[in-house]
């Protein structure tokens, strides 16, 4: 079968908590295992030739989780920023962040800018980390920016004011963990995306799941509102 590789995949990494609960472990360990799965998935995507992967790491609604869990997630992000993005994955990786970065703890907001700057010249693959991200927040932010600068919104220019400016829209959104919803992730950008919902819990994701995603995507016929 001929495989069609999506240029950009968005992942909603759901199921970390349930993965931990099944093993009588704290939820934070599920998230830690989730970072390992992230590496496996990114490496597999790089091998297929995917150019952009966006991962939903922390939503604007996740602040409502117990403080212990929020702190554990922030600490994972602190550890992640210390990684060497030239050697962490199968190929050097550019890292971009989308979301309300100024609303994060100061040390993380500073680190985000440093990681973006230090990896900005990498060309082949971009990992987009949605952090303190919510699509409604993103749209409000874009509307306010347009009003401040006196720009009239059009179908063509709205994308330039979203956090994802310069990043092509996702071709495919994948949600693990069995739920079938978008949870405020890339609402505008996924207007014509394909969707894949997997029962596998995020920490269990591996290469063969990515292979299955590629096969399923290759069967889709994308019409963008037109007739074939």
Separation between Cα atoms, residue 11 and residue 71, nearest integer Å? 22
Of how many residues is the chain composed?
228
Answer yes or no whether residue 96 interacts with ligand FPP by CB under 6 A. no
Answer yes or no whether residue 164 interacts with ligand FPP by CB under 6 A. no
Active site residue 209: no
Sheet strand arrangement including 126-133? 94-98, 126-133, 52-59, 8-12, 172-175, 194-197
Q: Which of 14, 169, 171, 209 is catalytic?
A: 14
Residues 6+ apart with CB under 8 A from 182: 12, 135, 173, 175, 190
Closest CB to ligand FPP among residues 62, 119 = 62
* Residue in the block written with tokens 């199921």: 15
**CB-count exposure of residue 152 (10 Å: 0-12, 13-18, 19+):** exposed
- Taking the complex as a whole, the smallest distance from the CB of residue 69 to ligand FPP amounts, in Å, to 8
Answer yes or no whether residue 77 interacts with ligand FPP by CB under 6 A. yes
- Stretch in the footprint of ligand FPP (CB under 6 A) among 7-15, 111-119, 148-156, 204-212: 7-15
Closest CB to ligand FPP among residues 86, 145 = 86
Answer yes or no whether residue 80 interacts with ligand FPP by CB under 6 A. yes
- Taking the complex as a whole, the smallest distance from the CB of residue 56 to ligand FPP amounts, in Å, to 7
Per-residue x/- marks for ligand FPP, 10-49, CB under 6 A? ---xxxxxx------------x--xx--x-----------
Answer yes or no whether residue 189 interacts with ligand FPP by CB under 6 A. no
Active site residue 171: no
Closest CB to ligand FPP among residues 76, 101 = 76
- Active site residues per annotation: 14, 62
What residues make contact with ligand FPP under the rule CB under 6 A?
A: 13-18, 31, 34-35, 38, 57, 62, 76-77, 80, 129, 177, 202
């Amino acid at each position: 079968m001929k495989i069609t590789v999506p240029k950009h995949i968005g992942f909603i990494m759901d199921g970390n908590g349930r993965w931990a609960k099944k093993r009588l472990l704290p939820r934070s360990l599920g998230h830690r295992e989730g970072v390992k799965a992230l590496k496996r998935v990114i490496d597999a995507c790089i091998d297929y030739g995917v150019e952009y992967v966006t991962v939903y790491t922390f939503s604007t609604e996740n602040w409502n989780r117990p403080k212990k869990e929020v702190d554990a997630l922030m600490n994972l992000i602190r550890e992640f920023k210390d990684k060497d993005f030239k050697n962490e994955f199968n190929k050097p990786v550019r890292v971009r962040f989308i979301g309300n970065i100024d609303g994060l703890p100061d040390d993380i907001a500073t680190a985000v800018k440093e990681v973006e700057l230090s990896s900005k010249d990498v060309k082949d693959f971009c990992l987009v980390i949605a952090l303190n991200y919510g699509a409604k927040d993103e749209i409000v932010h874009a509307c306010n920016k347009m009003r401040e600068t006196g720009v009239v919104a059009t179908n063509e220019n709205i994308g330039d004011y979203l956090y994802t400016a310069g990043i092509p829209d996702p071709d495919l959104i994948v949600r693990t963990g069995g739920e079938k919803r978008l949870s405020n992730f890339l609402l505008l950008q996924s207007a014509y995306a394909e969707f894949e919902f997997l029962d596998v819990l995020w920490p269990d994701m591996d290469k063969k799941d990515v292979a299955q995603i590629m096969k399923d995507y290759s069967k889709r016929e994308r019409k963008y509102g037109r007739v074939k």
